[in-house]
Amino acid sequence: MSWTLVFTDQYNRRAARFLKRHPQLHEPYRKTLLLLQANPHHPSLRLHALAGKLDGLHSVSINLSYRITLELLIRDGQIVPINVGDHDTVY
């Protein structure tokens, strides 16, 4: 199954700020999004559900330090990224 990434304006602004602060992460970020679209359950993404105030959201890893939080709309085959940053920023 192919998934569709749905980017909001708010997420695009957050991602642009993130990539401006971390230019070395452009390629890992791009690869994470491509893999997420192809197979969100790929083991290297370390997809997991979040709890507490982020209940209903999931997280995937760009690398060991940086994450993308997202909403999986499984019935529609859509993935909506919510936030990107280090562990403390997104959680």
CA–CA separation, 15 and 84 (whole Å): 6
* Average pLDDT for 40-60: 92
Bridge partners of residue 58, in order along the sequence: 49, 70
Range of 55's domain?
4-90
Query: Which CATH number belongs to the domain containing residue 64 in this structure?
Result: 3.30.2310.20
The pLDDT tens digits for 17-32 are 999 999 999 999 999 9
The pLDDT tens digits for 55-67 are 989 999 999 899 9
Q: Which residues contact 75 (CB under 8 A, 6 or more apart)?
A: none
User: What pLDDT is stored for residue 20 in this prediction?
Assistant: 97
List b or e across 72-82, with b for residues whose CB sees 16 or more CB atoms inside 10 angstroms.
beeeeeebbbb
Whether the Cβ atoms of residue 77 and residue 7 lie closer than 8 Å to each other? no
Give how many domains the chain has, as a whole number. 1
